[in-house]
Structure formats: structure tokens, C-alpha cells
């Protein structure tokens, strides 16, 4: 087992443990032991978070644990990794991209969308969750206002699907097509529907949604 693999396994374990303070202290200690901040971010922190995401994908952990992990990761990033990177004068350590996410108007389902939101966070995205039953203009305005890379729309009901189409039409009609991508998901949504309404990607579930967002970010200029 390489040094980084060992550290990654230890960090994964710590992220899933109860104590929040330990994570930041442990990270500081790792950096003091000679691991560069950039290597820590790329070889330890990011893979450890991906490992936590995989555990959720296999339902070895559940949503409350995923939420706790996302919060610990945020603390590690804000309190230790980012300052260390800045001190070392190197870039990196920032979010993979900014995602605004919501359940569209007429849809009150929250948990599936929250799972996607958290999986994006543990995979390094900055996520702004607008909640449920969000009117199209509110979602679009917020995405524009915060400079989102991606707007994620969830619908679990056929009766709220028309609002996804409305969102895409409004984005394009308002001249925002090049400003951010739109990814859609939810039980009745298919890749064909995504294509039909002109959305940019379809996430089959939380795991696939993360993969698609990563792919979309690779297309960003």
C-alpha cells in the first residue's frame, strides 16, 4: 500500500467517524509530515471523498452519514487545505464547478434531489440547493446570479416535467444558453426526454448524475 493510499484509507475512516475536530487536526498533521498541499488534495482528499460516495452508492452508509461527511469535508477544505494551498502559492483545491439544483415547480419530492446534491458536494462541486417546487424563473435567475456552471432539475412526476421543458426554453429564449448547462433527472425522466426538450444531460441516479456533471465540466470553455 502506497503512502497516499494509506492516508486516503485513514481519511475515509475519519470522515465516517463521529468526531469532526479530528479530521482537521489529522489533516494538519498529514501536511506537517511532508505531504504537499496539492498532493494531499489530489491524491488523498479527493479519492477519500470519492470512496465515501462509493460507499453511499452501495448503501453501506446512509444519507445522514453522507451529510456529516460533506460537512467534515467542507471544514477540512476551508480550514486546512485551502489556506495551505494559498500559503504554498499554488492553485487548485477549488470546487470542480458550481451547480444550482432544485426540484421543479409542482414537484415536492426532496430526498432524491438532496442525495444528488450531497453526492455532488462530496465529489468536489459547490452546490446551491434551492429546494422543492421551484418556479422556472426563480431557478434560472439564481443560476445566472451566482454564475452557475450547471443547473440541475429534478422531477419525479409526469405533471411537473413540463416545467423542465419550460426551464430549457426560457434559458435559451433569454439568451443564457451559453451561460450554464441544464441537467435533468428523476424517475420518469429518460435520455430521450432530455434530448427532446433540449437539455444538456440526463442523470439516471445520484451516481450517474455526478458522472454527467463531471463530463459537462470538461466541456466548459
Residues forming the active site? 107, 109, 160
Residue 220 CB, shortest distance to other proteins, in Å, is: 28
Which of 62, 145 has the CB closer to other proteins?
62
Q: Are 208 and 189 in contact (CB under 8 A)?
A: no
Mutual angle of helices 3-15 and 20-32, in 10-degree steps: 160
Instruction: Report 86-105 residues binding other proteins (CB under 8 A).
Output: 105
18 part of the interface to other proteins, by CB under 8 A = no
Residue 154 CB, shortest distance to other proteins, in Å, is: 13
Burial code (b: 16+ CB inside 10 Å, e: under 16) for 5-31 equals eebbeebbebbbeeeeeebbebbeebb
Using CB under 8 A, pick the residue from 59, 89, 178, 218 that binds other proteins.
59
The SS3 of residue 103 is strand
Q: Whole-angstrom Cα distance, residue 167 to residue 206?
A: 21
Residue 46 CB, shortest distance to other proteins, in Å, is: 23
Closest CA to 68 of 22, 9, 32: 22
Using CB under 8 A, pick the residue from 159, 169, 198, 219 that binds other proteins.
159
Q: Which stretch binds other proteins (CB under 8 A): 24-32, 35-43, 47-55, 106-114?
A: 106-114
H-state helical runs in the chain: 3-15, 20-32, 37-39, 46-57, 63-76, 82-88, 111-122, 136-146, 161-173, 191-197, 206-218
Which of 66, 85 has the CB closer to other proteins?
66
115 part of the interface to other proteins, by CB under 8 A = yes
The SS3 of residue 63 is helix
Q: Which stretch binds other proteins (CB under 8 A): 6-14, 89-97, 111-119, 211-219?
A: 111-119
Using CB under 8 A, pick the residue from 55, 85, 107, 120 that binds other proteins.
107
Q: Whole-angstrom Cα distance, residue 217 to residue 110?
A: 25
Using CB under 8 A, pick the residue from 21, 33, 64, 91 that binds other proteins.
64
Using CB under 8 A, pick the residue from 22, 29, 158, 215 that binds other proteins.
158
Name the residues that contact other proteins, by CB under 8 A.
Answer: 56-57, 59, 62-64, 67, 105-112, 115, 131, 157-163, 187-188, 190, 205-207
Amino acid at each position: 500500500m502506497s503512502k497516499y493510499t494509506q492516508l486516503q484509507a485513514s481519511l475515509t475512516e475519519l470522515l465516517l467517524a463521529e468526531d469532526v475536530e479530528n479530521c482537521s487536526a489529522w489533516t494538519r498533521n498529514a501536511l506537517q509530515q511532508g505531504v504537499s498541499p496539492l498532493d494531499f488534495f489530489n491524491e488523498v482528499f479527493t479519492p477519500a471523498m470519492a470512496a465515501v460516495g462509493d460507499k453511499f452508492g452501495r448503501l453501506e452508509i446512509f444519507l445522514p452519514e453522507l451529510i456529516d461527511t460533506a460537512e467534515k469535508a467542507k471544514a477540512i477544505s476551508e480550514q486546512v487545505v485551502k489556506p495551505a494551498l494559498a500559503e504554498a502559492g499554488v492553485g487548485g483545491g477549488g470546487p470542480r464547478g458550481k451547480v444550482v439544483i432544485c426540484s421543479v415547480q409542482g414537484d415536492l419530492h426532496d430526498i432524491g434531489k438532496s442525495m444528488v446534491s450531497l453526492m455532488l458536494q462530496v465529489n468536489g462541486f459547490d452546490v446551491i440547493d434551492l429546494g422543492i417546487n421551484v418556479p422556472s424563473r426563480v431557478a434560472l435567475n439564481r443560476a445566472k446570479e451566482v454564475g452557475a456552471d450547471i443547473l440541475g432539475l429534478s422531477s419525479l412526476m409526469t405533471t411537473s416535467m413540463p416545467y423542465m421543458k419550460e426551464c430549457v426554453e426560457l434559458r435559451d429564449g433569454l439568451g443564457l444558453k451559453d451561460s450554464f448547462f441544464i441537467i435533468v433527472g428523476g424517475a420518469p425522466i429518460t435520455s430521450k426526454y432530455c434530448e427532446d426538450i433540449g437539455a444538456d444531460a440526463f442523470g439516471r441516479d445520484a451516481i450517474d448524475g455526478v458522472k454527467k456533471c463531471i463530463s459537462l465540466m470538461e466541456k466548459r470553455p
